[in-house]
Amino acid sequence: MQDKESQAQKNVESESIIWTEKYRPQDFSEVRGQEVITKRIKAMVEQNNVPNLLFAGPPGVGKTSLALIIAKTLFGKGWRENTLEMNASDERGIDTIRSTIKDFARTKPIGNAPFKFCILDEADALTKEAQHALRRTMELFTRTCRLCLIANYSSKLIEPIQSRCAVFRFKPLPKEAVEEIILGIAGKEGLVITSEKIMNILFDVSEGDVRKMENILQSCAVLSKNINEDMIYEIVSSARPKEIRKLLELATAGDFVGARELLLEVMLKHGLSGLDIIKQIQKEVWNLNIEDKKKVELIDKCGEIEFRMVEGSDEFLQLEALLANFLNIV
């Protein structure tokens, strides 16, 4: 009886795990879409010749997962004893570098490990003073500790830090890699994905971000094991491409009032912000049946309106201005 209860509890705990953690790669062979980088890193780890590393690239493409695989491969089951994992967006000041990281780096590794390993996620959130302190720490304790800095934008890191690291630039995952991950999760979780169209929608809304894709799948699975188009768009609160295309067709046909009403309806129906909808408009411009030169002019106008929104202008007023420009250009 107790065994059954224990097994039931384990099943509940397993189901409650966020899929981004549940399906995080545990070995170099499980990493998808970053084959060139993985091959180089694996060779370094096999020779115990790991320099300070800088992983740069968009979110959800495997940077943190690969850093954790390095630690687990180097140190085995006791990897946590010789690994410090921190997020610089939580502790981004100079005190963090001078105390936590420096204290960890200055002590010898435990057991037969060649060195300790410090994973500093969101390193581009560090202040300039903290980065200069980190540079000095990297110089002094290179024998006892290696750092792996993870950043979305390497340009936000000072040049001395970049020059002290082997830089690996990650790319968004290709469609084939994302589809392979989706099929793997679907097989393990009993999900039914009925068509290639659903795959394309998942890829489009996740934009190569596997973490986002897994969260969408998990949210859909709560509602039903049969994943369909309506469910995905409802979860991500995104307008369908055909709704945006109809809006643009009305605007380019000269029906400003109709386009304005549909724009308001779409924004209220899906709860979209101005920045959300203008990104979808920019994508659908390329599908309009107009001259390429005019498409370029419309894209230029989308960029201008998006900048005004970021600077604080009224979103709906700017979107109306964009529709007016569509009429004038076409």
Q: Write out the chain's pLDDT in tens, 330 residues.
A: 444 444 434 443 445 578 777 778 788 888 888 888 888 988 888 888 888 899 988 888 888 888 889 888 888 887 888 888 887 666 666 766 777 788 788 888 787 778 888 888 888 888 888 888 888 888 888 888 888 899 888 888 889 888 888 899 988 888 888 888 888 888 888 888 877 888 888 888 887 788 888 888 888 888 888 888 878 887 777 777 788 888 888 888 888 888 888 888 888 777 778 888 888 888 888 888 888 888 888 888 889 989 998 888 888 888 888 888 888 776
CA distance 305 to 303: 6
**What residue type is assigned to position 215 of the chain?**
N
Domain of 45?
34-169
Residues 56 and 165 in one domain: yes
Can you give the CATH number for the domain in which 223 is found? 1.10.8.60
**CA nearest 287: which of 240, 241, 238, 230?**
241
Beta partners for residue 153, in sequence order: none
Q: What pLDDT is stored for residue 245 in this prediction?
A: 85
Residue 82 lies in a domain: yes
Q: Which of 149, 169, 189 is the last residue of a domain?
A: 169
How many structural domains are present in the chain? 3
Residues 214 and 266 in one domain: no
Residues 49 and 150 in one domain: yes
Residues 46 and 153 in one domain: yes
Residue 11 lies in a domain: no
Residue 10 lies in a domain: no
Residues 155 and 266 in one domain: no
Residue 3 lies in a domain: no
Can you give the CATH number for the domain in which 136 is found? 3.40.50.300
Can you give the CATH number for the domain in which 308 is found? 1.20.272.10
DSSP string, 163-211: HTSEEEE--PPPHHHHHHHHHHHHHHHT-EE--HHHHHHHHHHHTT-HH
Q: Which of 236, 254, 284 is the last residue of a domain?
A: 236
Q: Which of 169, 188, 218 is the last residue of a domain?
A: 169
Find how far residue 287's CA is from the centre of its chain: 26
Residues 228 and 251 in one domain: no
User: Using CA of residue 311, residue 314, residue 316, residue 317, what is the dihedral sign?
Assistant: negative
CA distance 75 to 153: 29
Q: What pLDDT is stored for residue 7 in this prediction?
A: 42
Residue 29 lies in a domain: no
Q: Outline where DSSP puts E strands in 48-95.
A: 53-56, 83-87
Long-range Cβ contacts of 267-271 (<8 Å, 24+ apart)? 267/316, 269/239, 270/233, 270/237, 270/238, 270/239, 271/237
Q: What pLDDT is stored for residue 8 in this prediction?
A: 37
Residues 142 and 60 in one domain: yes
CA distances from 235 to 186, 190, 225, 279 (A): 17, 19, 14, 18
Q: What pLDDT is stored for residue 134 in this prediction?
A: 83
Q: What pLDDT is stored for residue 6 in this prediction?
A: 45
Q: What pLDDT is stored for residue 91 in this prediction?
A: 63
Residues 245 and 219 in one domain: no
3-state secondary structure of 270: helix
Q: What pLDDT is stored for residue 12 in this prediction?
A: 36
Q: What pLDDT is stored for residue 9 in this prediction?
A: 40
